[in-house]
Structure 1
C-alpha cells in the first residue's frame, strides 16, 4: 500500500473541507447602536432580551390574545405598584421627618443633714443673684 502524499484526494477527504473565509459582517450588524423600524419591533426586542420576568409573555403568545392581554395587564399593574412604592418612599424621604423622644426621670432627693464643703472655687456670695435667677426660671418652667 502506498503512503498518502500531499495533495492526494484521500488525504483531503479524511481531513474534511478546507475552511472558507470568514463572512464579513454587514454594516447593519457592525453598528454599536441597533435602530428599530417601529415601536412594535423595539418592544419585541426589549421583551425578548430583558431579564424582567414575564415580559417575554407579552410577545410570545401571539395566537392567544386573551393570554397576552392578561400578561400585559399584570405587567402594567406590577410596574404601577413599583412606581407607587417609589413615590411613597421619595415622599417620605424628602419630607425630612424628625423623630425625637426625650425622657426625663428625676426623683426628689433628700437634702443631707450634714453639708460637706465641695471645694468649689466660686464664692456663694458672688453667684447668689445668678443662682436665684436660675431658680426662678426653673420653677416657671417646671411648675
Structure 2
C-alpha cells in the first residue's frame, strides 16, 4: 500500500499549519479545546474517527514539550479514546501514535498525538523485525538509556 502524499507543514503564509489550526486561522473539525490544547479530526484519517491532540504552543518534537504538557496531552488522548468507544463509530480498539522526528515519519514539526480507532481488517499496519533479542543485548540497551537519563 503506497503512502499518501505528504501534507504541507506550513500555511501559504509560512506559518506552522498546526499552530494556525490551534489558533483558528486554518479550518479543522474540533473535538476538544482548552487554553493549552486542541484536538481535531485528522484530515487524512487511518480510520473513521482518527483524531490528533496537539498543544497550542509550538513545540517541534516530544523532547521540546514540557513534561506536564506531555502528561496533559496523553490525558486528553485517554479521554478521547473513551469517547470514541461510546460513539457509534467502528472502534474495537485504540492506538495512540506519536511520530517523533522525520526518521519516525513525523510530517509536521509540531508535536501531536494520534488517537486512532481500530477494528479488524482496518488496513493499519506497523511492520518491523519483531524477533526476540537476547538478554545480554537488552541489558546493554537498558544500561545506555539509564545512563542517559
Indicate whether the TM-score tops 0.5. Answer: no
Bigger fraction of residues in strand: 2
Higher helix share: 1
**TM-score normalised by the chain length of structure 2:** 0.22
Which structure has the greater CA radius of gyration?
1
Which gives a bigger RCO, structure 1 or 2 (Cα 8 Å, sep 6+)? 2
What TM-score, normalized to structure 1? 0.23
